[in-house]
Structure 1
Amino acid sequence: MLSEKNSETPTFQVVSVSRENIPGIANWPSSGPHGHYHWPNASDGSGSSVIRTGDRIDVTIWDSQENSLLTNPGQRFTEIRGVEVDGNGSIFLPYVNKVGIRGLTSAGARSKIQSRLEPIVPSAQVQVSLQQGRDNSVDVVGGVAKPGAYPMPSRNYKILNVLSDAGGIPSNMRNPQVRLLRGSKTYEISADELFANGSKNALLQPRDTVIIEPDERAFTALGASGQENLIYFPKDRVTALEALSLMGGLSDFRADPKGVLVLREYKAEHLAPDGTGPNLQQVVFTFDLTSADGLFAARKFQIHPDDTVLATESPVNAIQTVFGLVGSAFGLTARASALGN
């Protein structure tokens, strides 16, 4: 490791992590699949209560005049139920032909229909009831107790509302990630951050799709630790010290606490010779956990997805291993000599 660090043409960069350089390293670009996307503002309105194509409208027309064009004899009103808003945003009504109502609220549609009726039936009064169609619903397709399509009751329907209506997120899911698909855009946030921050409770829009999935980010644990395995992130951020704990700690008799390494690979566009980023794509971060400085640095250093955390073997353990092999060889030689005699 030291020979590579001092080489005139190193193939990877070696960085000894300390409290002094932790702030600078924290500003380096992220590596691996970070799993965080932009999240919409909670104040973004949904407009879900306006009329859209595919909605159905119930229209009730009241007319107190005798011999009204719109009502049967002896009746004071007539009902026209289930009129679908067509692709042009219009509905058909007798005597007034097509009325464009897409984009209006129920009150706006009532006013427009009544104004179109006034030249024919001046005394008519109109009531409008909206039955929202498929385009005014939100799909929850996974990671909840009751996936399905959920109609939006109002323009104030929020992400936490639909998660509650869908039965909530299972408590045993690993660091659940809430993904929101809106048109060609994808938004993502962890459930913990969503629940903890009211400003993240975004308003939904018609035809949104919500998916809940376990966090798939992971790092690889190798070397003289409690386990060698792929370890998934149990929360949004994991420090180097927490990573060692997830690995089962350092082996008492094998590990070298002065030789804990984090191997990371950056993209070529992230290289920054001015120190604001890595000099080479492959970087090895080293930690000395026998010093207070190294321990505090490990508490601040953030593990990235696809990192490899390596607990190196103690030099003493390596020597003991060699002595053991030599001793075994001597033992075999002695036994062979005894058999020869």
Structure 2
Amino acid sequence: MRNRRRALLVLTATVVLAACSLPRGAALQSEILREENADIPSFEVIPVTRDIVPVLADWPVTGWSGSYRWLAAGRGPGSPIIRRADMVNLVIWDSQDNSLLTTPGQKNIVLEPMEVSASGTIFVPYVGEVVVSGATPQEARARVQDALVDIVPSAQVQLSIEQGAENSVDLVSGVASPGSYPLPSRDYTILSALAAGGGIIGSLENPLVRLIRGSDAYEIRADRLFADASHNVLLQGGDKIVVQEDDRHFTALGAAGTEDLIPFPAEELSALEAVSLMGGLSDQRADPEGVLVLREFPPEVVGKSPGPTHPQVIFTFNLTTADGLFAARNFQINPGDTVLATESPVTKAQTIFDLFGSIFGLTRQATIVAE
């Protein structure tokens, strides 16, 4: 009898200790939100419903600007524009015996190639500076010939150009063959340039195309660029194209299929899509009433309407109701958010029950041994 009591005491103590230190993969929703009812909580809790989603959509966006800015596509004439730093070749024909440009017996004069100046001009003998920048070769030829009328009325002008740095674009990175590429015409588009560079390299995950024009930068995801012809913008001399991975991501934690930094597969990402990217909720562990999105706001937007009243906000979702599912479908995840699938309270209870069942089995064995 004494041995039986001793065995029961040892096993009971084991049950208590084990129940107090059960291993879990994630916190319970009640544990995380416990401070919500404190006199001065350190975070704000927002239960997300369909009614409140439009209100939250007007809150400041965190982690990025909220959208990628891109140019509108346009069309241009099918000939190159003369730009600064282009080289202009002039041949002037004149059959007059007393021509100022040619010698007796000479029918034409070939001028040395001239670089278009910073002011957009070239120097023509006996005429001076002629503005050619911004004109097509045909327009520039007519300008030079008109300028020569008073000096050499019978002159005929031939003009050709060699494109300089201002009439080329740079493929900086993210393509098979980076480098500087000339613009053959004003109809040259960004897709043509990417194709000339060998296309976007396949190792880039979720590639982002950035177009740098002067002091401005424009961005678009490659999948959107390829899908819609209206995004295939015309290039200008001096444009720079950088292709890199879209580095936006969110953190997945808790009772889900994976815990990791997960990149954005599209420009916009809903909470429901984020749960799917996490591998869904664990059938055995997760609490579908306790999906949380943790977000931090910069101090300058806190307390302003519309916006949060605290820099740290927890958005809660109940995925067991239609209202919660539709809310999660329309709630946008921001880069830097943490999506947490909390542990179900039932999991802990079931684990305790299983543990007690095992202990009772051991108790019976111990009793038999003690007897």
By the TM > 0.5 criterion, same fold?
A: yes
Seen in structure 2, the aligned counterparts of structure 1 residues 185 and 45 have a Cα distance that, compared at 3 Å, is: farther
Q: What is the CA deviation profile of residues 289-309 of structure 1, one whole-angstrom value per residue up to 9, with x for unaligned ones?
A: 122221222222211111111
- The answer to whether the Cα contact below 8 Å between 2:94 and 2:155 also exists between their aligned partners in 1 is yes
Residue 163 of structure 1: which of 184, 191, 194 is its match?
194
Seen in structure 2, the aligned counterparts of structure 1 residues 121 and 164 have a Cα distance that, compared at 3 Å, is: same
Q: What is the CA deviation profile of residues 212-247 of structure 1, one whole-angstrom value per residue up to 9, with x for unaligned ones?
A: 111110011111111111111111122112111211
Instruction: Give the 3-state SS of the residue equivalent to 1:262 in structure 2.
Output: strand
State the alpha-carbon separation in 1 of the partners of residues 281 and 361 from structure 2. 32
Deviates more, 1:263-272 or 1:309-318: 263-272
Q: Residue type of the partner of 2:151?
A: I
Residue 345 of structure 2: which of 315, 334, 338 is its match?
315
Is the counterpart of residue 131 in structure 1 residue 131 in structure 2?
Answer: no
Alignment-derived partner of residue 183 in structure 1: 214
| Larger of the two Rg values belongs to structure | 2
State the alpha-carbon separation in 2 of the partners of residues 308 and 301 from structure 1. 14
Q: Residue type of the partner of 1:52?
A: R
Deviates more, 1:282-291 or 1:27-36: 27-36
Alignment-derived partner of residue 229 in structure 1: 260
TM value normalised by structure 2: 0.80
Displacement of 1:319 after TM fit? 3.1
Residue 308 of structure 2: which of 267, 271, 278 is its match?
278
Instruction: Give the 3-state SS of the residue equivalent to 1:64 in structure 2.
Output: coil
Instruction: Give the 3-state SS of the residue equivalent to 2:288 in structure 1.
Output: strand
List runs of 5+ in structure 2 lacking aligned partners: 1-31
Residue 154 of structure 1: which of 179, 182, 185 is its match?
185
Alignment-derived partner of residue 318 in structure 2: 288
Deviates more, 1:300-309 or 1:73-82: 73-82
Alignment-derived partner of residue 202 in structure 1: 233
Alignment-derived partner of residue 331 in structure 2: 301
State the alpha-carbon separation in 2 of the partners of residues 46 and 294 from structure 1. 54
Seen in structure 2, the aligned counterparts of structure 1 residues 338 and 94 have a Cα distance that, compared at 3 Å, is: farther
List runs of 5+ in structure 1 lacking aligned partners: none
Q: Residue type of the partner of 1:84?
A: E
- The answer to whether the Cα contact below 8 Å between 1:34 and 1:217 also exists between their aligned partners in 2 is no
Alignment-derived partner of residue 52 in structure 1: 83
State the alpha-carbon separation in 2 of the partners of residues 269 and 325 from structure 1. 51
- The answer to whether the Cα contact below 8 Å between 1:48 and 1:136 also exists between their aligned partners in 2 is no
- The answer to whether the Cα contact below 8 Å between 2:256 and 2:282 also exists between their aligned partners in 1 is yes
Instruction: Give the 3-state SS of the residue equivalent to 2:111 in structure 1.
Output: strand
Q: Residue type of the partner of 1:8?
A: D
Deviates more, 1:95-104 or 1:176-185: 95-104
- The answer to whether the Cα contact below 8 Å between 2:79 and 2:136 also exists between their aligned partners in 1 is no
Alignment-derived partner of residue 243 in structure 1: 274
State the alpha-carbon separation in 1 of the partners of residues 194 and 221 from structure 2. 13
Displacement of 1:258 after TM fit? 1.2
Residue 121 of structure 1: which of 152, 164, 167 is its match?
152
Deviates more, 1:192-201 or 1:146-155: 192-201
Aligned residues: 340
